[in-house]
Amino acid sequence: MSQPEKKVWERKDLLGISDLDVWEIELILDTAESFLEISQRDIKKVPTLRGKTVITVFYEASTRTRVSFELAAKRLSADTVNISASTSSAQKGETLIDTARNLEAMAPDAIIMRHPIPGSSDLLGRHVRSSIINAGDGAHEHPTQALLDAMTIRQVKRNIRGLNISIIGDIAHSRVARSNIHCLTKLGASVTIAGPATMIPLEAEKMGVRVVRTLGEAIQGADVIMMLRIQRERQGKVLFPSDRDYSRFFGLNMENMKDAKDDVTIMHPGPINRGVEISPEVADGPFSVILEQVTNGVASRMAILYLLIGKGGSDEAAA
C-alpha cells in the first residue's frame, strides 16, 4: 500500500484530533492493530522504547486512561513516572509552565497530561522539548479516546466510511464527544448527536453533525451508538432534573434497543453510570464492545508513544 509520495510522521505532540490529517489518523490505527498482539503474549513486553522516560501528570482523576498509558509505556520498555498534581495549583497558567520546566529538567521523552483547562496541553507543547500527549484538556479534546474508539469500530465494522454513528449524552461538556466527532467525520462517517437541549452545544451543526432531539431518532438506523457518561463533576449547574429523569429520556435500555439495527454496536468510554445513561443489560449485552475499547486503549497508546518518541512513522515499510 505504498503511496506515490512517502509520508512521514513528523509531529512532536499529540494535542488533539482536529489538527490531524486523515493519513495520520490511519497510520496510528494501522500501527495500533499491530501492537494488539503484544498484550496477548505471556511476556507482554518489547524492547522498543528502552531507555526512554515517560511522565504522566494528571490534574484530574482517572483510572483507565492513566493505567492504560502507563501499561502502554511499560510494554514498550519505557520507564514511567506518575505525578499527581492538585487541582488548585493548576488553576494558574504560570504554575503549569513552571511545573513543565521542572519536569523538562529531568529530561523525559514524553509528558502525558490531563488538565481541566482547555488548551493546557497546547501551552505545554510550546514550552517544552519533550513530546506532549493530551490525555484530556477540559471539555476540549481527548484524542487517544477517539483513536481507540475508531480502532474498535474498525475492528467490528471493518470500515468507518459510510457508517451512521450516534453520540448520545452531554455533548457540550464532553471532550470525548468533541474528539470523536472530529475523528469520525474525518474518516467519512455520518455523525448524529442527541441529548437534552442543555447539553447540546450551540451551533453544533457547524461541526458537521446532525442534531436530533430524541433518543429514538438517534437509535434508528445507527450502525454504532456511543453513549457518553453523565459528568456531574464537569457541570457547573444542574442540566437535568434527576438521574431518573435523564434515564427515562436518554438512557439506553433493552426496550429502546428494539428499534436499533440488528447489527448495532454499543460503545461507552467509561466509567459507566449503570442505570443512568445505559442499563446493565445493554452494557453487558452482546452488542456492547465496552471492554474491547479498554483493550484497544493500550494498543493505541502504544502506537502513539511509538510514533512520537520511537521514530516509527512512515506509511510504508523500509526495506
* Degrees, nearest 5: CA angle 61-64-67: 95
Q: Interface with other proteins includes 155 (CB under 8 A)?
A: no
Q: Which stretch binds other proteins (CB under 8 A): 25-33, 61-69, 125-133, 284-292?
A: 25-33
Smallest distance from other proteins to CB 219, Å = 35
Q: How far apart are CA 118 and CA 230, in angstroms?
A: 19
- Our measurement of the distance from residue 115's CA atom to the centroid of its chain's CA atoms, rounded to an integer in Å, reads 14
Under the binding rule (CB under 8 A), the answer on residue 45 touching other proteins is yes
Assess 312 for contact with other proteins (CB under 8 A). Answer: yes
Stretch of 15-23, 32-40, 141-149, 226-234 lying at the interface with other proteins (CB under 8 A): 32-40
Residues 26, 30, 243, 292: which binds other proteins (CB under 8 A)?
A: 30
Taking CB under 8 A as the criterion, the residue among 84, 87, 95, 314 binding other proteins is 314
DSSP, collapsed to helix, strand or coil, labels residue 297 as: helix
Residue type, 282: V
* Cα torsion angle, 3, 5, 10, 13, sign: negative
| Residues 272-311, interacting with other proteins (CB under 8 A) | 303, 306, 310-311
CA atoms lying within 13 Å on the CB side of residue 143: 24
At residue 166, what are phi and psi to the nearest 5 degrees? -105, 130
Q: Measured between alpha carbons, how far is 245 from 134 in angstroms, rounded to an integer?
A: 34
- In the set 3, 4, 5, 43, which binds other proteins (CB under 8 A)? 43
- Min. distance of Cβ 257 from other proteins in angstroms? 34
Q: Where are the alpha helices (DSSP H) in the chain?
A: 22-35, 64-75, 87-90, 93-104, 120-127, 143-157, 175-186, 215-219, 243-250, 254-257, 280-283, 290-309
Binding mask 67-86 for other proteins (x = CB under 8 A): ---------x----------
Site string for other proteins, 161-200 (x = CB under 8 A): ----------------------------------------
23 alpha-carbon distance from chain centroid: 18
Is residue 37 part of the contact set for other proteins (CB under 8 A)? yes
Q: Which residues bind to other proteins, rule: CB under 8 A?
A: 8-9, 27, 30-31, 33-35, 37-38, 41-43, 45-48, 51-52, 76, 303, 306, 310-319
